[in-house]
């Protein structure tokens, strides 16, 4: 119904075209009528607006695809630089993957319309905070606030609104507290983001020797050490490695690694970058488990893991037998869970790099997904196996 209604509401100029990309891709041209009862303004200062022609043109070269997130880059490829109103954060990762494939060009600039949050700890008034609350409803977790503190903040806003506290009132919070004062929109230059992240990743990649003995315990000592040369890895491979790590923090299609949030992943990048680049390029799931994710757990929970542990299985065993609380121990993923997560992230990256076409989605567990035996829902493979055995 929406797709039928939209063309009746849109007006375009004579040189413009309107593309509607849903289950099929169609193009509308302007309906230019030679004789009309009402004269149209033809001044260059007031471009003529036309309704859409009722008969759209099918674009068979643009294949039907799924969600809109993965569609926008093919229009950059066909039409050039684009302004994109991005609803979901996935757009940013997809744009980065696009540049990793196609490179940075003057004709493929992407600007995403995103929300910019402004923080202020010293000049925050009840009025400004109330205004920010009206502009956007933000959960306490997104602000980095505890639930109790978030409720207190919300209650204060409501009370102040009732008492009609005017602008210039005393700050609600101490000077060292960060408070969301506004939520503005801004255009994000994804080429700049790409180049900035690439520079950070290059600086994080170390060139010292990598111990790969955990990949094959039967290797002799001379073969256990390999030197990593970042020059042999193209910049696109560096970006794909970084995106693999970003997806480890969780998205709509990938699940977050327990107890490893974005901040911890980012802060420890220099310790894992060389192994991450090597593992992603060589599709070494075991290396990702042992030398990337396992190493992160080992750094963060160093007091509970033996320095001799070089495999995730060893680290996992130490964590389960540590003095940590039972609730924390229950959060640590098993090796099987991590292998499924690695497979899933690999599939998501393939999906987000398929800019015009369908991607295979087998449910045999190869991509981390399976069909639940009783509900028929698509779930992660380890969850399906767990429920089968219970």
Judging by DSSP bridges, how do beta strands 11-12 and 50-51 pair with one another? Answer: antiparallel
According to the model, what pLDDT value does residue 215 have? 61
Residue 303 domain-assigned (yes or no): yes
According to the model, what pLDDT value does residue 178 have? 55
My answer on whether 173 and 201 are in the same domain is no
- Nearest-angstrom CA–CA distance, 258 and 86: 28
Consecutive 10-residue runs of the chain (390 residues): their mean pLDDT? 82 90 90 54 59 90 84 92 87 94 94 74 40 36 39 44 44 50 80 94 76 57 52 78 94 89 92 90 90 95 94 95 95 94 92 86 83 83 76
My answer on whether 261 and 371 are in the same domain is yes
State the sign of the Cα–Cα–Cα–Cα dihedral 69, 70, 71, 75: positive
Q: Which of 383, 328, 344 is nearest to 248 (CA)?
A: 344
Residue 117 domain-assigned (yes or no): no
My answer on whether 370 and 249 are in the same domain is yes
My answer on whether 168 and 24 are in the same domain is no
- Nearest-angstrom CA–CA distance, 113 and 105: 20
- Out of 113, 148, 177, pick the residue that ends a domain: 177
Residue 211 domain-assigned (yes or no): yes
Burial class (CB in 10 A: 0-12, 13-18, 19+), 289: buried
Per-residue pLDDT tens over the stretch 361-387: 888 888 888 888 788 888 888 888 777
How many domains, the chain? 3
- Nearest-angstrom CA–CA distance, 63 and 357: 6
Residue 96 domain-assigned (yes or no): no
My answer on whether 360 and 296 are in the same domain is yes
Cα–Cα distance list, 352 to 37, 98, 193, 219, 297 (Å): 50, 9, 18, 37, 28
- Out of 36, 62, 88, pick the residue that ends a domain: 62
Structural domain of 163: 122-177
Per-residue pLDDT tens over the stretch 241-295: 999 999 999 988 888 999 998 999 999 999 999 899 889 988 888 999 999 999 9
According to the model, what pLDDT value does residue 252 have? 83
Q: Which of 356, 351, 354, 353 is nearest to 368 (CA)?
A: 351
My answer on whether 204 and 242 are in the same domain is yes
According to the model, what pLDDT value does residue 293 have? 96
My answer on whether 199 and 170 are in the same domain is no
Per-residue pLDDT tens over the stretch 207-246: 666 666 666 555 444 444 555 555 556 788 899 999 999 9
3 state SS for the chain: CHHHHHHHHCEECCCCCEEEECCCEEEECECCCCCCCCCCCCCCCCCCCEEECCCCEECCCCCCCCCHHHCHHHHHHHHCCEEEECCCCHHHHHHHHHHHHHCCCCCCCEEEEEEEEEEECCCCCHHHHHHHHHHCCCCHHHHCCCHHHHHHHHHHHHHHHHCCCCCCCCCCCCCCCCEEEEEEEEEEEHHHHHHHHHHHHHHHCCCCEEECHHHCCCCCHHHCEEECCHHHCCHHHHHHHHHHHHHCCCCCCCCCCCCCCHHHHHHCHHHHHHHHHHHHHHCCHHHHHHHHHHHHHHHHCHHHCCCCCCCHHHHHHHHHCCCCCHHHHCCCCCHHHHHHHHHHHHHHHHHHCCCCCCCCCCCECCCCEEECCCCCCEEEHHHHHHHHCC
Residue 374 domain-assigned (yes or no): yes
Residue 31 domain-assigned (yes or no): yes
My answer on whether 297 and 153 are in the same domain is no
According to the model, what pLDDT value does residue 69 have? 83
State the sign of the Cα–Cα–Cα–Cα dihedral 189, 203, 143, 68: positive
My answer on whether 269 and 366 are in the same domain is yes
Which residues have a Cβ under 8 Å from the Cβ of 34 and sit 6 or more positions away? none
My answer on whether 150 and 253 are in the same domain is no
């Amino acid at each position: 119904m929406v797709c039928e209604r939209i063309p009746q509401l849109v007006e375009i100029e004579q040189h413009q075209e309107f593309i509607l990309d849903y289950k099929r891709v169609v193009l509308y041209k302007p309906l230019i009528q030679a004789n009309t009862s009402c004269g149209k303004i033809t001044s260059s200062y007031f471009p003529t607006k036309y309704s859409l022609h009722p008969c759209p043109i099918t674009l068979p070269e643009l294949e039907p695809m799924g969600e809109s997130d993965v569609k926008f880059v093919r229009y950059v490829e066909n039409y050039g630089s684009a302004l994109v109103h991005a609803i979901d954060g996935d757009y940013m990762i997809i744009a980065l993957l696009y540049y990793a494939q196609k490179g940075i060009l003057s004709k493929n600039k992407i600007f995403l319309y995103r929300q910019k949050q402004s923080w202020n700890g010293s000049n925050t008034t009840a009025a400004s905070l109330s205004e920010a609350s009206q502009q956007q409803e933000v959960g306490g977790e997104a602000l980095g606030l505890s639930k109790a503190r978030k409720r207190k903040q919300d209650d204060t806003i409501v009370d102040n609104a009732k008492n009609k506290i005017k602008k210039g009132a005393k700050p609600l919070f101490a000077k060292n507290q960060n408070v969301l004062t506004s939520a503005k929109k801004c255009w994000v230059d994804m080429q700049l983001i790409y180049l900035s992240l690439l520079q950070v990743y290059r600086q994080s990649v170390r060139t010292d020797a990598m111990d790969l003995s955990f990949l094959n315990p039967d290797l002799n000592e001379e073969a256990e050490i390999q030197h990593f040369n970042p020059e042999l890895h193209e910049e696109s491979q560096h970006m794909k490695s970084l995106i693999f790590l970003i997806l480890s923090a969780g998205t709509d299609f990938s699940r977050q690694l327990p107890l490893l949030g974005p901040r911890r992943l980012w802060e420890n990048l220099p310790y894992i970058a060389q192994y991450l680049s090597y593992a992603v390029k060589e599709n070494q799931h075991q290396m990702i488990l042992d030398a990337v994710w396992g190493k992160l757990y080992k750094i963060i929970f160093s007091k509970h893991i033996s320095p001799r542990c070089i495999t995730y299985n060893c680290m996992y065993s130490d964590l389960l037998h540590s003095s940590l609380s039972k609730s924390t121990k229950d959060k640590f993923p098993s090796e099987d869970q991590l292998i499924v997560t690695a497979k899933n992230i690999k599939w998501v990256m393939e999906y987000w790099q398929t800019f015009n076409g369908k991607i295979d989605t087998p449910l045999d567990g190869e991509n981390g997904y399976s069909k639940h035996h009783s509900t028929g829902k698509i779930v992660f493979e380890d969850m399906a196996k767990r429920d089968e055995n219970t």
